Structure 1
Amino acid sequence: LLESYLVAQQHHCQMKEFLIVLLMSLVMGTVYFIPFHISLLGQFLSITNYVKQLLVICQTLKNCLIVH
């Protein structure tokens, strides 16, 4: 009975350690992932700005062509 209890305790400790490691890796992953997301968002925003500028340029070119 005592042996099984000790095994259960050991297993419980391993589970606790595993959970702690999992939690830590999740936290670290989030910390490392957030800047990546921000940079992706920044790239996306700059791309949309670029497209907007292109559209504006096309619009002005069209207007110039229509005028001429």
Structure 2
Amino acid sequence: MQKLIAILTVVSWSGFWSFGYIALTATNLTDQQILTATCLAGLGFLTGVGAYLALAKGQTINNTALRFQHAQLEG
């Protein structure tokens, strides 16, 4: 399931960047086409963020791998 969510994340962010670029830089498009590209970019953004959050849910940082030392308790 993790791999499926990871693939969804990549595809969603790719759609966001692709359609966002089209919406911002295209010169000979009608207003309807620009609106469609903007909506698809927004959908890609929302789906990408949601999939990323689902992928990152439950992940913890290994502090020993980062060489992070907790303060020693005195007492």
Please give the TM-score of this superposition, normalised by the length of structure 1.
0.45
Please give the TM-score of this superposition, normalised by the length of structure 2.
0.41
When Rg is computed on C-alpha atoms for both structures, the one with the higher figure is 1
Higher relative contact order (CA 8 A, sep 6+): 2
Structure with greater helix share of residues: 1
